[in-house]
Structure 1
Amino acid sequence: FDKIFLPIFYTLVFLLGLFGNFIVMAVMIKYKHTLTATDIFILHLAIADILLVLTLPFWAIQAVLGWIFGDLSCKIIGSVFKINFYSNIFLLVCISFDRYLSIVHAVQMYKKHKTLLVHMSCLAVWGFCFLLSIPDLVLLQSVNEIRYNTIECLHNFSSNTAYYWRATLRFLFHVVGFFLPLCVMVYCYVRIILTLMGSQGFQKHKAMRIIIAVVITFILCWAPYNVVLLTDTLISFNVLNQNCDLDTQIDIGKSITSSLGYFHCCLNPFLYAFIGIKFRNNFQLLLNQIGCKCMKKHVTPQKRNSTWSESGETTYSAL
């Protein structure tokens, strides 16, 4: 199943993820003087998505030929993947919290035209995610997978510490990498929705739809994988009984649901950039400047509004 499904799906995610996120980066770097705090978070999110999808061809090759790149590449590529997996999630949390402060409490955490603090916050996120990936850097090796009679890039636990490390890695993934970020995002967006419901105007309804879409997309993409992996975790710790049929179903389930999670990288540009008037106008202007005469009228770079409003008001003027 993996030899057929994973190469096809990973290639699709690789191409779409690179295309969408490179467009986001190109537009934002071109008009970097207009970037707001949320835009900078989105830029770092695009970088994390690109670095994550760049690892997918290696996993696609592994599905067909096994891991043929050696131990060092296994550690590096596996760690890069995990760093950007965590960065992707925690940058979404940063965007949610920044919008929560701005809209619910009318507090500007990051002052306009002072982008250094935003970049420092992003670097702190990257640093924290690097720390979370250290177990992968230590434990990942080219291992002979007996069930498939092939070499794979896997965590190689010693018999004495296997239980401890397996529990630690699963705790980091389930709790730190999904449950806690999800709780923060849901709380922030519920409060934002309640605040918007108390305001007047048509724009709030569009903003609420987008907010709901953000949360639902995150849940739909990552919840299935966490459910399947949680089942695998319960089997590993003998909470559930193990049998061959269940093992096969979990293996296939992990392949499908993890691929769905990676597809989230392709959706981020649409959720956080393409839906914003500012981004669309700047993108059209960039196309015009490189020779595409596709604009119906002249547009100028937008300077104030982000995908999310940068003011403490309860409406989104950029949507």
Structure 2
Amino acid sequence: MVPEVSECQVLDASDLASFLENSSISYDYGENKNNSCCDSPPCPQDFSQNFDRAFLPVLYSFLFVLGLLGNGVVAAVLLSQRSALSSTDTFLLHLAMADALLVLTLPLWAVDAAVQWVFGSGLCKVAGALFNINFYAGALLLACISFDRYLSIVHATQLYRRGPPTRVALTCVVVWGLCLLFALPDFIFLSAHHDDRLNATLCQHTFPQFGRTALRVLQLVAGFLLPLLVMTYCYARILAVLLVSRGQRRLRAMRLVVVVVVAFALCWTPYHLVIMVDTLMDLGALARNCGRESHVDVAKSVTSGMGYMHCCLNPLLYAFVRVKFRERLWALLMRLGCLALQRQPSSSHRDSSRSETTEASYSGL
């Protein structure tokens, strides 16, 4: 999941002249015996690299500020009332931490896109592993939240509330442990090395093509398909229960359920589809040529930005839409002296206060 750099994008003037004398710009990599990017003449264009230099630093900087601010507020509000956290709140706290740690790596990748990797192999391993740990953690924690809500609403089972107090903490430990396991290839194989042809230092994996394909399959299954399937099943069953009931609060919960699944799918599906196309090109199932490769590289940059944007949407979807969270945020601002006057409780607030249990079950989706 570490931002990838194409190795067949740039030519200097002498290489370009020599290449144009012996070939055409539409050279098809499928005709090469080894079907390998770097065994074939490099593509005589740098459009995708110039696009990354202009697009990624701006995007990553924006997501860094927005994601750090939103997830920082969520973490601060939840930590201010640690003793009263429900199981969903605990998962939300870990989700906010994962999203915040992920966006913390974006400035490094912004510098990498704008110039080159200037931070050495040690930070390359740490930044790449930290990025992927929190990528997996975000997706798996969303699945945990949906499963917790599914048990609570569909089966009226409070798995964490009625069990040992450490059960939810143990679940989070298991999630983080799996993410560390998934990130082991980054600790082992990521390194900074100088590419003489590109005249730039890159932070990339050093394993062969088979390892790259296996890592992509792991990311697709563990970081996207499995969480999406869990969320879709759990929220579909929740919707079935909510549809047979009436009431404004339940209608709001239904809209939230739909938004949660759609947001995750819309943010990450385009990226994984592009990665599948790129993998098929690597395996030779699709012919590789300079035009297609350039388009795929640009598409990876755009769709990865859409995926990282989900880290900024999580605070809005899972925290700020909840009445209980908004009340906690207001109380925290009052305690910090940010607000001079206390808000008069509205009728809707009084209603929500009288139905805390219902709010926890439906608005806590």
| TM-score normalised per structure 1 | 0.91
**Equivalent position of 1:71 in the other structure:** 121
135-144 vs 85-94, which moves further: 135-144
1:102 to 149, 152, 160: 152
- Which AA in structure 2 matches 1:281? E
Is contact 2:322–2:363 with CA below 8 Å preserved after alignment? no
- Distance across 2 between alignment mates of 1:200 and 1:27: 31
- Distance across 1 between alignment mates of 2:316 and 2:153: 22
1:255 aligns with 2:301: yes
Change (3 A) 1:2 1:127: same
**Equivalent position of 1:28 in the other structure:** 78
1:171 aligns with 2:217: yes
3-state SS, counterpart of residue 204 of structure 2: strand
1:267 aligns with 2:313: yes
1:293 to 317, 336, 340: 340
**Equivalent position of 2:167 in the other structure:** 117
- Distance across 2 between alignment mates of 1:259 and 1:131: 25
**Equivalent position of 2:255 in the other structure:** 209
- Which AA in structure 2 matches 1:119? A
- Which AA in structure 1 matches 2:150? Y
3-state SS, counterpart of residue 287 of structure 2: coil
Is contact 1:7–1:60 with CA below 8 Å preserved after alignment? yes
Shift of residue 116, structure 1, vs aligned partner? 2.1
- Which AA in structure 1 matches 2:330? Q
- Which AA in structure 2 matches 1:258? S
Shift of residue 112, structure 1, vs aligned partner? 5.6
Change (3 A) 1:289 1:107: same
1:280 aligns with 2:330: no
3-state SS, counterpart of residue 263 of structure 1: helix
**Equivalent position of 2:141 in the other structure:** 91
**How many correspondences in the alignment?**
310
144-153 vs 267-276, which moves further: 144-153
Shift of residue 231, structure 1, vs aligned partner? 0.5
Q: Name the % identity.
A: 46
**Equivalent position of 1:218 in the other structure:** 264
Q: Where do 5+ consecutive residues of structure 1 fail to align?
A: none
Larger radius of gyration: 2
**Equivalent position of 2:32 in the other structure:** none
Shift of residue 143, structure 1, vs aligned partner? 2.9
Is contact 1:37–1:115 with CA below 8 Å preserved after alignment? no
Shift of residue 113, structure 1, vs aligned partner? 9.1
**Equivalent position of 1:53 in the other structure:** 103
**Equivalent position of 2:183 in the other structure:** 133
- Which AA in structure 2 matches 1:249? H
Question: Deviations 1:121-169 (Å, cap 9, x if unpaired)?
Answer: 1111000010001011111111334674321111112xxxx23312210
3-state SS, counterpart of residue 183 of structure 2: helix
Is contact 1:75–1:141 with CA below 8 Å preserved after alignment? yes
Shift of residue 199, structure 1, vs aligned partner? 1.7
Question: Deviations 1:192-241 (Å, cap 9, x if unpaired)?
Answer: 10111112322211111000000000011100100111100110111100
Q: Where do 5+ consecutive residues of structure 2 fail to align?
A: 1-50
